[in-house]
Structure formats: C-alpha cells, structure tokens
Amino acid sequence: MNYAKDKEWRLFCRDMYNENSKERREWKEKPFPNLYSYVKNNYRFLEGEYKKRNSQKEIKEVKQLSLI
C-alpha cells in the first residue's frame, strides 16, 4: 500500500519513530539515524499497528454514532 501522501500515516510513523528512539536511548541502544531508515526496517510492523489503530478508531466512531 502506498502511504506516501497520507498525512495521518506520516504523523503516525513520526510518533512511532520518536517513541522508539526514546526507548532505545533509555536502553543504551543506538537509535535509527533517521525516520526513513526506521520506517524501511519496520514497515510491516508499522503497517500492522497503523491498521490496528485505525480499526479501533472506526469501532469507536461507530459506537458513538449508535448512541445518537
């Protein structure tokens, strides 16, 4: 899937990269040098997490609509 123009995807990846970098520093591990290398090395994981979050978001929206 091509997410290059999806702003939400890019923000998600940036947040995950920042979180990963923080965790790596805490564990005295070398963080990825940039966002591109992080996404390249973790693309399948990121895609799965992104889909999970979006499906949970959609479920919440449906539940909210059903309360109206």
Is residue 35 a contact partner of residue 14, using CB atoms and an 8 Å limit?
A: yes
pTM: 0.79
Domain extent listing, the chain: 7-67
pLDDT value of residue 66 = 52
Is residue 28 a contact partner of residue 2, using CB atoms and an 8 Å limit?
A: no
pLDDT value of residue 12 = 96
pLDDT value of residue 5 = 84
Question: What are the b/e assignments for 8-28, b being 16+ CB within 10 Å?
Answer: ebeebbeebbeeebeeeeeee
Q: In a structure prediction context, what are the per-residue pLDDT tens digits for the chain, which is 68 residues long?
A: 567 788 999 999 999 999 999 999 999 999 999 999 999 999 999 999 999 998 877 655 545 545 45
Which residues, other chains included, contact 35 with Cβ-Cβ below 8 Å and sequence gap of 6+? 13, 14, 17
